[in-house]
């Protein structure tokens, strides 16, 4: 199995922490976020992980290297100074991600989630891991109805930043830099996404204050 970690972003909301540290290498409770993600993927029997690189990406390469320490093969998709956001970053890496469904993990989340075994049904292009909407968000992103992700005017659940996609999900994607969010909303409207609710530990390490609170627990 192949997976991808999105780690190229500047992490503007986490400044000044990310002025000198890539967001995926922020330390929570003595562990780099990217190390935690790689170990989770290894436990899910992932063999190869693609990491996209942008801001301070050389620090990630120096630390992770070939992935041997995690019993993984790690390869890199450099974006240099032209960071492509979530959607563009995945599309750039598609040639490395193969022909089968693959997991994608946002580099700036903290969770104790274990990836479920997931076989996408023929009518689904992706599977989203959803979480209860945290207090710092005004509203959620989606609802969940019998395993189907639903677009709603009153969404109660939040996309965790962890999902499994068919490569064909990106067939109609724009080129260049773009966010994945509009594609997810469109796919939900078209009933093309399944989903699961995870109610364990999950945090968006999006600000210095949230990082501080995580490290105090």
The pLDDT value given to residue 129: 97
User: How many domains is the chain partitioned into structurally?
Assistant: 1
Domain that holds residue 201: 2-216
If 0-12 CB within 10 Å is exposed, 13-18 middle and 19+ buried, where does residue 58 land? Answer: exposed
Bridge partners (DSSP) listed for residue 148: 145, 194
Q: According to DSSP H, which parts of the chain are helical?
A: 33-43, 57-64, 85-97, 181-189, 208-216
Contacts of 28 (CB under 8 A, 6+ apart): 36, 110, 205, 211, 214, 215
Q: Which of 155, 212, 214 is nearest to 16 (CA)?
A: 212
Yes or no: say if 142 and 129 are a contact pair by the CB < 8 Å rule.
no
User: The pTM is what?
Assistant: 0.94
Say how far apart CA 88 and CA 92 lie, in whole Å. 6
SS3 content of the chain, % helix, strand, coil (to 5): 30, 30, 40
The pLDDT value given to residue 217: 67
Write down the residue that tokens 């023929």 correspond to.
122
Summarize pLDDT for 32-81 with one digit per residue, the tens: 999 999 999 999 999 999 999 998 999 999 999 999 999 999 999 999 88
Which residues in the chain show pLDDT less than 50?
none
Helices (H) and strands (E) in the chain, counts: 5, 13
Q: Which of 52, 12, 5 is nearest to 32 (CA)?
A: 5
Domain CATH for 210: 3.90.550.10
Cβ count near 116 (within 10 Å): 11
The pLDDT value given to residue 98: 94
Angle CA 52–214–136, to nearest 5: 85
């Amino acid at each position: 199995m192949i997976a991808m970690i999105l780690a190229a972003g500047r992490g503007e909301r986490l400044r000044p922490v990310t002025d000198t540290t890539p967001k995926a290498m922020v330390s929570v409770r003595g562990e780099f976020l990217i190390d935690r993600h790689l170990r989770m993927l290894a436990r899910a029997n992932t063999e190869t992980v693609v990491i996209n690189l942008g801001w301070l990406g050389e620090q990630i390469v120096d630390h992770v290297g070939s992935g041997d320490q995690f019993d993984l093969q790690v390869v890199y998709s450099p974006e240099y100074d032209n960071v492509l956001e979530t959607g563009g970053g995945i599309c750039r890496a598609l040639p490395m991600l193969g022909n089968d469904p693959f997991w994608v993990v946002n580099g700036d989340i903290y969770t104790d989630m274990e990836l479920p075994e997931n076989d996408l049904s023929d009518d689904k292009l992706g599977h989203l891991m959803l979480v209860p909407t945290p207090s710092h968000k005004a509203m959620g992103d989606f609802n969940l109805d019998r395993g189907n992700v639903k677009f709603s005017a009153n969404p109660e659940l939040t996309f965790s930043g962890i999902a499994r996609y068919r490569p064909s999900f990106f067939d109609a994607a724009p080129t260049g830099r773009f966010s994945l969010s509009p594609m997810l909303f469109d796919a939900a409207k078209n009933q093309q996404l399944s989903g699961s609710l995870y109610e364990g530990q999950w945090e968006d390490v999006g600000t210095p204050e949230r990082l501080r609170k995580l490290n105090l627990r």
